[in-house]
Amino acid sequence: MDGAATGGEVELDGLTKKYGTVEAVRGISLNIRRGEFLAILGPSGAGKTTLLNMLTGFEKPTSGAIRINGRDVARLAPHKRGIGVVFQHYALFKHMTVAQNVGFPLRMRGMSMREQRSHIQHALELVKLEGFAARFPDRLSGGQQQRVALARAIVFRPALLLMDEPLGALDKRLREHMRVEIKRLQRNLGATVIYVTHDQNEALTMADRVAVMNDGVVEQLGTPDDLYERPASAFVADFVGETNFFTGRAVLDADGRIRVVLDGDRPEHRREVENAASLRPGSGVEVGVRPEEVSLLPPEHAEHDQAPAVLGTVSDVLYEGATALHVVETPIGDLSARLSLKNLRETRWAVGDRVAVHWDARAARGYPAADRAS
């Protein structure tokens, strides 16, 4: 464990799992690069746990392949796959010391005691617990127990490290600290990590790429900024971050360009969206705009050459520290605008104020109306 990229290359090829007539995972194909940190993100019921269980070997695929460094392990027993696993609730042996817990995978592999001591010491140094070898789990904090679980998962130098909601049992401050520690450890090891979570902040801050799952499929695979700035579906836009959605229909204008007329908007306000070419004229659409892309101006600024505003009334202001979330009632629906308080020193909007709501066309994306049904 000298910092070189020791992780495995992982390929999921058409991976499917059926329970009777229900397809929990449907034909997932992914390539995970050596040393990559991939987050599997999605809500409950998306298929994340089933996918993880197939990777660990606790579930057998109905069809498809799981290849680690080119070897199909889909039909191998869990202990023969060379995979380290970190669970949400640690799964430490309470009757064993820290050193014994960490060394357990080595004993199962028949390693000599001399080699075990060296590996255990190194693993505990990596997770900064070298002085805790003789303690028992019930004498450790939650964060320390999680570090022991990490050390146990990496001590035998697995080709792949799986993490199943590993920070879910920790408080907010400790979760944020452990995110940094896990990412540091992954970089030091050069390990390949597949990290399963429903927490978008964990996925966006830790992963090299994120696979967003919904209803057994991967809706989008990309870097964190790809997912946030260019969500491929309304589901991704809604699940990753916050988004205002407005309903309307796509229209083909006389200049041959596709624009959107929003329900409740003035008919002459034919709005542009960044991905207009993907919309079908005459079809219903939802337009998504992030709260931080919305501007509030005095009502006299309602007309704008490039992006016409919609007039509304501030119904709530939620203080967030450096920002404030302004909720505005408008004819096209209620919307949220996240504004920097630093930029609002001279003008601060209050409940009841009339405002003109603007956003840049490049900040808006359109999706088929049924896209977010799930």
Q: Mean pLDDT per segment of 10 residues, for the chain of length 374 residues?
A: 63 96 96 95 93 93 95 89 83 91 89 89 89 92 87 88 84 82 86 92 94 96 95 94 95 90 90 91 95 92 69 95 94 95 76 94 90 54
Supply the DSSP string of 87-136, one letter for each residue: -TT----TTS-HHHHHHHHHHHTT--HHHHHHHHHHHHHHTT-TT-TT--
Domains of the chain and any CATH numbers:
10-234 (3.40.50.300), 242-368 (2.40.50.100)
The pLDDT of residue 365 is: 96
- Residue 74 CA neighbour count, 13 Å, CB half: 18
The letter for the amino acid at 56 is: T
The pLDDT of residue 176 is: 85
Q: How far apart are CA 183 and CA 205, in angstroms?
A: 9
How many CB atoms are closer than 10 A to CB 10?
Answer: 23
Q: How far apart are CA 229 and CA 250, in angstroms?
A: 22
Please, are residues 230 and 290 in contact by the beta-carbon 8 Å criterion? no
- Backbone φ and ψ for 107, nearest 5 degrees, come out as -65, -40
Nearest Cα residue to 101 out of 77, 124, 80: 124
Supply the DSSP string of 28-45, one letter for each residue: EEEEE-TT-EEEEE--TT
Please, are residues 163 and 86 in contact by the beta-carbon 8 Å criterion? yes
The letter for the amino acid at 195 is: Y
| The token pair that represents 176 in the structure block | 């944020």
The pLDDT of residue 268 is: 83
- 254 CB burial (10 A radius; 0-12, 13-18, 19+): exposed
The pLDDT of residue 303 is: 66
Please, are residues 351 and 314 in contact by the beta-carbon 8 Å criterion? yes
Nearest Cα residue to 211 out of 91, 51, 341: 51
Cβ-based neighbours of 307, under 8 Å, separated by 6 or more: 271, 272, 358, 359, 360, 361
H helix intervals, the chain: 48-56, 98-108, 113-126, 142-154, 172-189, 200-206, 224-229, 234-239
